Amino acid sequence: MTTPITATAPHAGPGMGHRRPRRSVVPLLAPSAIWAGAGGVLALWWSNTTSVVGPAGWLIGAGRITGLLAGYACAVLLALMARVPLLDHTIGSDRLARWHAFGGRCTVSLALAHTLLIIWGYALTSHTSVVSQTSTLVLHYPDLLKGTAGFLLFLLTAVFSARAARRRMSYETWHYLHFATYLAVFLAFGHQLSNGADFVGNRLVQTAWYALFLGVAALVAWYRFAVPLRRGLRHRLRVAAVHPEAPGVVSVHLSGEHLEELGGEPGQFLRWRFLAPGLWWTANPYSLSAPAGPGRLRITVKSAGGHSAALARLRPGTRVWAEGPYGSFTAGRRTAPKVLLLAGGVGITPLRALFETLPGHITLVYRARRAEDLALRAELDAIAVHRQATVRYVVDEPAGYSSPLTALALSALVPDLAAHDVFLCGPPGMTRAAITALRDAGVPARRIHHESFAF
């Protein structure tokens, strides 16, 4: 069923004119800075290498390079996941997570290559077997036993991060297993300074390496631990009420103090820790489903697992700790006067807040399986009338009223689709199909904005 609520307004209402946002240069500078750092690491090896002679020399040289790059990559990985607001609000949490995942695979590969190349090269130099050389290195070189333990922890984390393994574990289990990487980096750090040919006796390089890792450790300690603790004590969030919105969907209303200091924008999310039995030990990401108001916040959650299902049973007065706000799925991404908000299922939550606040010419298309699954529908209708905007509901059942997620169908719903910015939020399968349909309809990739919370 496709239901238009109002005709699209020919122009925006008072105070809703489009103003082109300033684009941040951080998404361009951050990768450049990372690659520049890698170049500096290679320059360090080059400056400390006078010559490379024979097969053993080439193997050991390659092992030194991969070891240096693996150590540097550890610092980059931790910095990407430190939740630094400058990076998170301009690059986006999901994009940072993809960089982190790619960097993690590279780091493990570099560490594995470093281990094999060094053992092989040293075995050729000392004319011993690989097994004997491995035993000598691990048991008799300073800090190498700890370095080996760190390397094995990295391998273990990589195994649990594989897609097949992630499907078999909860978000909470996966999240806490990743804390092993902090221990792995700590164990490997001493080995780098004790055994690395580029560090031994070079006080300047050692100081620079300490500065790099201590700086990253400070970012992690501040933004992942100190700031959430300080905000929890400052804002004193509590559950005010829990209201059903659709089958399996509830809105959790929260109250607190000094909430204007959070600075949460429509489209952003926070990581919520509810201090209730069975929930206190994990913090899950949920988007704000309405603009923040004086002393109040709201999230809308669909039951999709043990944690989300338990939110329907929260009692008023339950204490809440919130980390954030995070994400760049905000008005700052907008580049065109016309905007399409395309939601699937509970993906309506961040788009409902944007629908109320985004200036200019807005169209909302909300897809669900059944009409009763359309959460927050009364609010969306009221916003559409107030703004003279267009909202269209598309349901899959009954089949006679369904509309395929194709370029042709979307273009029929949204005239001049290619001229729109598109904010997209929904289940992974729907998101992939929508991106394909939008590209086929002529929407440039730079105008398709989405953030994924999948882990």
**Distance in angstroms (rounded) separating the CA atoms of residues 28 and 102:** 17
State both tokens at 181.
């990487």
pLDDT value at position 179? Answer: 77
Reading the block at residue 52, the tokens are 């490379």
Q: Select from 326, 342, 363 the last residue of a domain.
A: 326
* 139 shares a domain with 58: yes
Question: What distance in Å separates the CA atoms of residue 88 and residue 70, rounded to the nearest whole number?
Answer: 24
The pLDDT tens digits along the chain (455 residues) read: 444 433 333 333 333 344 555 567 888 899 999 999 999 999 999 988 887 888 999 999 999 999 999 999 999 999 998 999 999 888 888 888 889 889 988 999 999 999 999 999 999 998 999 899 888 888 888 878 888 888 888 888 878 777 666 667 666 677 677 777 888 888 888 888 887 778 887 889 899 999 999 999 999 999 999 998 998 899 999 999 999 999 989 999 999 998 888 888 899 999 999 998 888 888 888 999 999 888 899 999 988 777 778 898 999 999 999 998 998 888 888 888 999 999 998 899 999 999 999 988 999 999 998 888 899 999 999 999 998 999 999 988 766 556 788 999 999 899 899 999 999 998 888 899 999 999 999 999 999 998 775 54
236, two tokens: 């004193």
Q: What is the residue whose two structure tokens read 């790059």?
A: 69
Question: Could you give the C-alpha distances from 150 to 54, 71, 142, 147, in angstroms and in order?
Answer: 31, 12, 14, 5
Kindly state whether residue 172 falls inside one of the protein's structural domains. yes
Domain-ending residue, one of 326, 342, 365 = 326
Asked if residue 76 belongs to a domain, the reply is: yes
Same domain, 135 and 58: yes
Between the alpha carbon of residue 439 and those of residues 7, 429, 443, the distances in Å are 25, 16, 5
Residues 222 and 252 in one domain: no
221 and 141 part of one domain: yes
Is 148 domain-assigned? yes
The residue range of the domain holding 32 is 26-231
User: Pairing relation of β-strands 296-302 and 2-4?
Assistant: unpaired
3-state helix, strand, coil in the chain (%, to 5): 55, 15, 30
The two tokens of residue 315 are 């009692």
Query: Which pLDDT value is given to residue 144?
Result: 83
Kindly state whether residue 173 falls inside one of the protein's structural domains. Answer: yes
**Which DSSP letter does residue 23 get?**
P
Are residues 211 and 153 located together in one domain of the fold?
yes
Q: Are residues 292 and 430 in the same domain?
A: no
pLDDT value, residue 39? 95
Q: Look at the alpha carbons of 219, 220, 221, 227 in this order and tell me if their dihedral is positive or negative.
A: positive
- Three-state secondary structure call for residue 364: strand
Does residue 342 form part of some domain? yes
CB atoms within 10 A of CB 214: 10
Predicted pLDDT at 22: 58
Do 70 and 16 lie in one domain? The reply is no
Q: Which helix (H) or strand (E) holds 194?
A: helix 180-195
Give the pLDDT of residue 37: 94
Strands (E), 279-389: 284-287, 296-302, 319-326, 338-344, 361-368
Q: How many domains does the chain have?
A: 3
DSSP 293: B
- Give the amino acid at 18: H
Nearest to 269 by CA among 158, 185, 353: 353
Both 274 and 131 in a single domain? no
Please give the DSSP secondary-structure letter assigned to residue 21.
Answer: P
Instruction: Decide if 314 is inside a domain.
Output: yes
Spatial strand order of the sheet with 319-326 comes to 284-287, 269-274, 319-326, 237-246, 249-255, 296-302
In the block, residue with structure tokens 């700890």: 146
Whichever domain contains 346, its CATH number is 3.40.50.80
For residues 10 and 33, membership in a common domain is answered with: no
Verify that 37 and 163 share a domain, yes or no: yes
Residue 7's pLDDT is what? Answer: 36
**Spatial separation of the C-alpha atoms in residues 415 and 413, rounded to whole Å:** 6
CA distance 288 to 347: 11
Query: Considering the domain boundaries, does residue 455 fall inside one?
Result: no
The last residue of a domain, from among 190, 216, 231:
231
* CA 249 from centre of chain: 24
Give the DSSP H or E segment for 294: none
Q: What is the CATH number of the domain that holds 281?
A: 2.40.30.10
SS3 assignment, position 15: coil
Q: Are residues 154 and 253 in the same domain?
A: no
CB-CB contact of 345 with 427 (8 Å): yes
163 lies in a domain? yes
What pLDDT does residue 171 have?
66
**Do 159 and 307 reside in the same domain of the chain?**
no
Cα separation, 384 vs 104, in Å, equals: 44
DSSP at 87 = H
Instruction: Give every strand in the sheet of 420-425, ordered side by side.
Output: 2-4, 390-395, 361-368, 338-344, 420-425, 448-450
